[in-house]
Amino acid sequence: MITINDTTLENLTAIYHMALGLERWFPNNNSAFAYGTRLCEETGELVEALLTVADKGLNAESKHHLVKEIEDVLQIITGALGIYGLNDRLPDTLARFAAAEPPQAVTKNDIIAVSVCSGQFADAINHMESQGIKKQKRGDTPDDRLLEKTHALIVRIVLFLQHYDLMDDLEKQIEADYLSLAQRGFIDLNG
C-alpha cells in the first residue's frame, strides 16, 4: 500500500500512474514497440543487478539499485498494458502475485527466467501488434496471451522481492518517485 498525502493506492496502481506520468514528461516514443525496447534495456539492468547481488551479496547500495531496477521494469510492464487498456485486468497489488509463488531460495536459473519471461512478454506485444507470422503462430487471442506473459514476468520479479525481503523498500521507493513526479506536475494528486 502506497500513501501519498493521506491518499492510499495499491502498489501496482501507483506504478501505473507513474508510467503515465513519465509518458507526460517524455511524450515521444511511447508506442508498444518503444515500450518493448525499454523493457529489453531495463530487464538487462535488472538481470545485471540480480547477478551482482547473487555474486556479492546484498548491501545498502545494491539493495537500492535492485529496488530501482525492479520499479523500472514494473513501470514498463504497466505502461505497455495501458496502451491496450488491459491494466484493469491486472491485479492492483503485487501481493496477489506473491501468493502465486511461495518464498523460496533463488538461483541463477531464476535470474535467467526473468530474461526469458521478459522476452515472452515482448513476443506477446508483437502478437498484440499483429506482426504477421506471430499472429499465424499464436492464433487470435492476443489480450489473454499478453496478460499471461505479464503474470509470469511479475511472478518472477516478486520471487526476488520476497527472497531479498524488498517489498517495503520497493513501496518506499514508489512513494518517493510518485511524489517526485507529482511535484513536477506529471501526476495529479487531486484526481
pLDDT in tens, 17-53: 999 999 999 988 888 889 988 999 999 999 999 999 9
Q: Go through 18-53 and write b for each residue having 16 or more CB atoms within 10 A of its CB, e for each that does not.
A: bbbbbbeeeeeebebebbbebbeebbebbbebbeeb
pLDDT-above-70 percentage for the chain? 91
Interior CA angle at 117 toward 94 and 60, to 5°? 55
DSSP state of 89: G
Model confidence band, residue 101 (pLDDT cutoffs 50, 70, 90): low
The values of phi and psi at residue 140, to 5°, are -125, 35
Per the listing, cell 521494469 goes with 73
Work out the mean pLDDT of the chain and round it to a whole number.
88
pLDDT in tens, 107-126: 888 899 999 999 999 888 88
Model confidence band, residue 184 (pLDDT cutoffs 50, 70, 90): very high
pLDDT value, residue 131: 58
Mean pLDDT across 166-181:
95
pLDDT value, residue 125: 87
Query: Who's near 158: CB < 8 A, 6+ residues apart?
Result: 94, 97, 98, 100, 101
pLDDT at 185 over 60: yes
Model confidence band, residue 6 (pLDDT cutoffs 50, 70, 90): confident
Mean pLDDT across 90-107:
77
The pTM of the whole model exceeds 0.75: yes
